[in-house]
Amino acid sequence: MADVVVVGAGQAGAALVAKLRNDGYDSPVTLIGDEPVPPYQRPPLSKKYLLGDMALERLYLRPESYYAEAEIDLRTGTRVTGIDRAAQEVVMGTERLGYEHLVLATGSLPRRLPDAIGGDLGGVHVVRTLADVDAMAPGFQRGAKVLIVGGGYIGLEAAAVAASRGMQVVLVEMAERILQRVAAKETSDYFRALHARHGVDIREGVGLEHLLGDGHVSGARLSDGSEMDVDMVIVGVGIVPDTGLAEAAGLETCNGIAVDAQGRTSDPAIWAVGDCASFPHRGGRLRLESVPNAIDMGDCVAGNIMGRAQVYVPQPWFWSDQYDVKLQIAGLSTGYDRIVTRDGGAAVSFWYYRGDQLLAVDAMNDPRAYMVGKRLIDAGKSADPAVVADAGADLKPLLKS
């Protein structure tokens, strides 16, 4: 019997077990993950690691030796296949392990292309795990033709790496514009122009109809009727929360494993954290797909397992690296009705408002705008649009108002 069993040795699970130990929790803790490696950070998978600029060990969240030293029983390469809620045990094939507290930190699964349109051909990749990226790395050859399906952050980051490696890159986005689901038109325009300068052929309002090839992908037919030769396909069409275990165990789900304000599922002995969990937020439910959310929720639930009864209040932020541009995003832009642009040349930021209320900031190579925006948003404050729009005006005084 372990007091705390965590299923999913990713960003959230790793944060939670470390927080338990840091805060003096001294009962048995087991962290179970089905990947063959210790917990690692995913963001570099579509950035520096894919580019070949980062060694494997630097991906690891902590040195491998940490887990034994902290008396965390880390079981890699181990898949939890079921939960016996009545017995309070997780099932791993023929083995069972009892728990007092079970934490589901199962993350999310990438959407794949259906086999019927060629999704099962060789050379078709998703970008979720280290194994995914290691499998596509040999195809990153100068001059090779890559088709990227999906113009969200993952697709755009993969496009940036491929272009930087001298590949011929076509990116198709079915929606009217890239980043449509997550950002304003101004941000889409900024990144479209950035990619165009690096030779990426972005086609918006165009979907993939069918991949062609015999065993390995060799071409693609697009929804505008055009056909192209292709050596490799990278699919970045979103993710779905991994709720399979929770659903099979009869836990409530709602765009993710439904948890209460403290992170508890519909079974009081089971918690959920990170990408897989949807939590109460402003009268509805929210599920975030980001490192900060995974860490903060992991920390919060670790505290609650120790009896602190904390409410999880997200302070959303995100980042993306493409070429020499660092995008930093503070807040959630949902519901905005206008954008204020602060254009300082190399440093540009777009500020999202609903009425007079500042909701979010997208800052490109502008850490100061990001920092000021984030502090204002976290404090529930706004910013005078006239000051924001004047790139010569100092933003810091906004923090004092």
Ligand X SMILES: Cc1cc2nc3c(=O)[nH]c(=O)nc-3n(C[C@H](O)[C@H](O)[C@H](O)COP(=O)(O)OP(=O)(O)OC[C@H]3O[C@@H](n4cnc5c(N)ncnc54)[C@H](O)[C@@H]3O)c2cc1C
Q: Which residue is nearest to ligand X (CB)?
A: 10
Least distance CB 396 / ligand X (angstroms): 26
Total residues contacting ligand X by CB under 6 A comes to 36
CB-count exposure of residue 180 (10 Å: 0-12, 13-18, 19+): middle
Judged by beta carbon, residue 35 or residue 267, the one nearer ligand X is: 35
CB closer to ligand X out of 83 and 206: 83
CB of 21 to ligand X, least distance (A): 17
Query: Which of 19, 101, 125, 128: binder of ligand X (CB under 6 A)?
Result: 128
CB of 14 to ligand X, least distance (A): 7
| Shortest Å distance, C-beta 276 to ligand X | 6
- Among 188, 290, 328, 382, the residue binding ligand X under the rule CB under 6 A is 290
Stretch that binds ligand X, among 168-176, 285-293, 334-342, 375-383 (CB under 6 A): 285-293
Residues 216-255 that bind ligand X (CB under 6 A): 242, 245
Residue among 4, 113, 127, 149 that touches ligand X (CB under 6 A): 127
Burial class (CB in 10 A: 0-12, 13-18, 19+), 323: middle
Q: What is the CB neighbour count within 10 angstroms for residue 324?
A: 10
By CB under 6 A, the residues from 17 to 56 that bind ligand X are: 32-35, 42-43, 45-46
* Near ligand X by CB under 6 A: residue from 102, 121, 154, 170: 154
16 near ligand X, rule: CB under 6 A: no
Question: From the list 2, 4, 6, 10, which residue makes contact with ligand X (rule: CB under 6 A)?
Answer: 10
Among 100-108, 165-173, 213-221, 380-388, the segment contacting ligand X (CB under 6 A): 100-108
> Does position 320 bind ligand X by CB under 6 A?
yes
Cα distance between residue 38 and residue 16, in whole Å: 14
Interface residue list for ligand X (CB under 6 A): 7-13, 32-35, 42-43, 45-46, 79-80, 105-107, 127-128, 154, 242, 245, 274-276, 289-292, 294, 318-320
